[in-house]
Amino acid sequence: MASTFPSPEWVKDFGQKLNSDPHYAQIAKKWEGDITFAIEPSGPVKETKYYYFDLWHGTCRRAEVMNGLSIKSAFVLTAPYENFVKILKGEIEPMTAMLTRKLSVQGNMAVMMRSIPVVLDFVRCAREITTEILT
């Protein structure tokens, strides 16, 4: 799996990575909640992109590009494209991005904070499949 972020292929490959990664499966075995990325325009991204991931007990039951926020997710992560890129490149850690509001979180922040290992491994998987970033 090797993908360019952001693209429909990246979404598909990320879902497959989550389902094939034994470390993620173990660490996220108690996670229950879907996540939508709302990637706001900046740089080469000219319109908001919505990526949906249905995550349940260490698996990704569904990964797809959405037209708007058509599904009510447990969590919606919103940021300009450039901030998602910084997270994927490791220039900023996801929890730091959340706490400094570079990444907005809609949903139960207490659940997110209790699940830091799951969040970090989720991001590790995203970083591992991202081979190219749109510039």
| Separation of alpha carbons 32 and 82, rounded Å | 28
Query: Looking at the predicted structure, is the pLDDT value of residue 71 above 90?
Result: no
| pTM of model > 0.85 | yes
Domains of the chain (ranges plus CATH)? 3-129 (3.30.1050.10)
Each residue's pLDDT tens digit, 82-104:
999 999 999 999 999 999 999 99
- Spatial CA neighbour of 29 closest among 6, 62, 59, 72: 59
Share of the chain above pLDDT 70, in %: 99
Each residue's pLDDT tens digit, 38-69:
999 999 999 999 999 999 999 999 999 999 88
Length of the chain: 135
Q: What is the mean pLDDT of the chain?
A: 95
CB 29 within 8 A of CB 58: yes
